[in-house]
A = this chain, B = another copy of it.
């Protein structure tokens, strides 16, 4: 009898975490990664976001395999959004209750740790190995080795954790009846830096996600352990007053930053060099179905790449691993088709929901958070949650600080939004929001839930 060996394509965050999970289940895991070993210092990932925001679902997946303690020293808690207006005034919007935070972590460092762990558990890491061809029918991979030669490797199972531009998905698209959709949004992003101060300190409050919301565009910043901030500038590629297409020299750039991001500009000594040196990356949404074909399956961004505006891409991929592992626990490691079928069935509605919420959240981040009505609305919701902790849970909390199904969170969030829309119709709400009849709102949401 053949060994139960699993080939994972991609040694990113999801691929390496999955490698650990599967090795712990006694499987024989090989991970193929076309890029060089990221632990080699010569390697600097290009065009990929440097910071991730780890939240509850991600921690839960780390907990199941005992990795919390390893990761904890490298994270910086962010307890809310710090919103910067055009005059440099800031206000703080908590994400949840006092102790609730999302955690900034460097993608590179995190990936490094997970690869080390996967290897420690016995996963065979194959860097500089690209998958030239994948045969879905034979569950086999034609691998290009670092020396350029090719090898045909049969395996029991292939799992594609190879991201938005997945080569396994590509193979499925050619060899099976895969329904597939990719959509780019009109905005792109560019990474910039706010370095530590001359005194070696954080230049801004480190325990917040900073946002400069400007309607059609925005800048954000996340803290790093070296006391710098990684900033991400989101602009339309073209069209509108401010867009990547219209920033062609230092003068254009300074004009945009001095007008819209003056306080950040003052903290960015290398802006010009970084702006014109760093790539402008695009933002893609990917949906497909089915996720499996024969004994191959997609996981993470490979089947549900989403835009980054809910900070859930990695957390959702980690939750994928957690759920897949639960199914393997239940059905064993000899019924892959069954496990894969169950996985896509349980998971697809949730990943559709979070993808849609992520798109919706872009408007919230770049526009609504600058709106006083929105802030009042959030305060009413926070108060409702405080008074009725199980009857009213803000959408952000359901997504970020719970493990309830994304699809359920989305559905509940919609009902709550309808009720809040009515509450906000009161013409005096901006004056009287502290006198709102919270009990009546709870009755309304309970009625809505019964319909």
Contact = CB atoms under 8 A, between A and B. Distances in A.
A177 interface: yes
Contacts of A182: 173, 178-181
Judged by DSSP, the binding face of A is: strand
A25 to B, nearest CB: 31
A237 B282 CA distance: 37
A341 to B, nearest CB: 14
A276 interface: no
Contacts of A184: 177-179
A280 to B, nearest CB: 11
B183 A282 contact: no
A183 B284 CA distance: 19
Q: How many copies of this chain are found per oligomer?
A: 2
Bin chain A's interface residue count. 10 to 19
A181 B184 CA distance: 12
Contacts of A180: 180-182
Interface string A174-210: 1001111111100000000000000000000000000
10 contacts: A173-B182, A177-B184, A177-B237, A177-B284, A179-B182, A179-B183, A179-B184, A180-B180, A180-B181, A181-B181
Contacts of A174: 165
Contacts of A237: 177
Contacts of A178: 182, 184
Nearest to A181: B181
A302 to B, nearest CB: 15
A53 B177 CA distance: 26
A120 to B, nearest CB: 35
A355 to B, nearest CB: 15
A168 to B, nearest CB: 16
Nearest to A283: B177
Nearest to A165: B174
Contacts of A183: 179
Nearest to A289: B183
Interface in A295-333: none
Contacts of A173: 182
Interface in A136-186: 165, 173-174, 177-184
